[in-house]
Amino acid sequence: MRKVVILGTGPAGLTAAIYLARADMQPLIIEGSQPGGQLTMTTEVENFPGFIEGVMGPELMDNMRKQAERFGAEFKRGWVNSVDLSNGKPPYRLQVEGLGEIETQSLIISTGASAKMLNIPGEKENIGRGVSTCATCDGFFFRGKKVVVIGGGDSAMEEANFLTKFASEVHIVHRRETLRASKIMQNRAKQNEKITWSLNKTPIEVLAKENKVTGLKIKDNETGEEEIIETDGIFLAIGHLPSTAFLNQQVKTDQTGYISVKPGSTQTSVTGVFACGDVQDSKYRQAITAAGTGCMAALDAERFVEGNAVHDWSQSL
């Protein structure tokens, strides 16, 4: 039986692996279909502390993995088909494709959340080349340039306002005539002179040339007329999906599927099961905050396994 199993290899999972490996907990880390998480889909990361000139996303994740391996962390590739948490206490059993059944005394869930995509031509292949899912991560790169924000909720309005700090023009595209955002967020965006609007328009294609985004083709939902918005960058702000389906509702989540944790800890509603990173964070979604919660989860799991945290924190969730 394993002392601790970590699901996911983004900044949260890898930070937890580093801490647990250094504590001689022999963590097993299960990698999914995208080792390294969302940062492997980005180019330069300039806001992760310690890198004066920035660092490439894949390089940062590779370095974190090697650091964990240096201290004895074990990595295995596999898809977690199911997790049995029905007893509410260890041992917990995981069914992993290609690896069979794995038993563990504690479990750290750091499976992340993925940005919702439009699934239109030119979108996926231009991620990191002008298409982004994080304004706070990439806005700086569009200083003095034109950008498009797709979405009509609070997140879209917030990202559009944020981007006006850098971009010369921010164009909001939304498929409906009315916005889902709160009135106060709508008003802030509408009062911003840098923001223009295309409502009741559907994005149908991302245009690019020489590996750089050049425009967004949209269609008027009433007339069917198509037009091209010239832009240097496209920011998707249509929501995120936490990767929790495999848990089969055995762990308490909020209304949108993010795992609920006890305030000030990473303890979930199931004793000995911890969550860190974007899978439990619908607000910040930054690499550095994910890494911080990975550290917390490692310390929580270590104390639990060593018998220093026997209180059932789940009762307070």
More confident call, 54 vs 107: 107
Closest to 180 in 3D by CA, of 150, 205, 206: 150
State how far the Cα of 67 lies from the Cα of 26, in Å rounded to an integer.
Answer: 14
Say which of 24, 62, 84, 137 is annotated catalytic. Answer: 137
Task: Report the relative pairing of strands 212-220 and 55-56 from DSSP bridges.
Answer: unpaired
Q: How confident is the model at residue 317 (pLDDT cuts 50, 70, 90)?
A: low
pLDDT digits (tens, 9 = 90+) for 212-256: 999 999 999 999 999 999 999 999 999 888 999 999 999 999 998
Q: Do 117-236 and 2-114+240-316 fall under one CATH topology? A: yes
- The pLDDT score that the predictor gives to residue 254 is 94
Fold for 2-114+240-316, please state it: FAD/NAD(P)-binding domain (3.50.50)
∠ CA 188-192-198, rounded to 5°:
95
Give the chain's mean pLDDT. 92
Per the DSSP assignment, residues forming a β-bridge with 28 are 5, 74
Predicted TM-score (pTM) of the model is 0.78
State how far the Cα of 60 lies from the Cα of 159, in Å rounded to an integer.
Answer: 25
- The pLDDT score that the predictor gives to residue 120 is 97
In degrees rounded to 5, what are phi and psi of residue 161? -65, -40
Residues 6+ apart with CB under 8 A from 210: none
CATH for the stretch 117-236:
3.50.50.60
Residue ranges of domains in the chain: 2-114+240-316, 117-236
Q: How confident is the model at residue 310 (pLDDT cuts 50, 70, 90)?
A: very low
What value does the CA radius of gyration of the chain take, rounded to a whole number of Å? 21
Residues 6+ apart with CB under 8 A from 235: 132, 133, 134, 135, 138, 147, 148, 149, 150, 159, 163
The Cβ of residue 31 has, within 10 Å, a number of other Cβ atoms equal to 18
DSSP string across 22-43: HTT---EEEE-SSTTGGGGG-S
Task: Report the relative pairing of strands 2-7 and 131-132 from DSSP bridges.
Answer: unpaired
For residue 277, give both structure tokens. Answer: 């990173």
Per the DSSP assignment, residues forming a β-bridge with 148 are 171, 234
Beta strands in 54-175 (DSSP E): 55-56, 74-77, 79-84, 92-97, 100-109, 113-115, 131-132, 146-150, 169-174
Say which of 24, 62, 84, 134 is annotated catalytic. Answer: 134
Residue 68 · residue 18 · CB < 8 Å: yes
pLDDT digits (tens, 9 = 90+) for 39-92: 766 667 888 999 999 898 889 999 999 999 999 999 999 999 999 999 899 999
Say which of 24, 62, 84, 138 is annotated catalytic. Answer: 138
Please confirm, yes or no, whether 134 is among the known catalytic residues.
Answer: yes
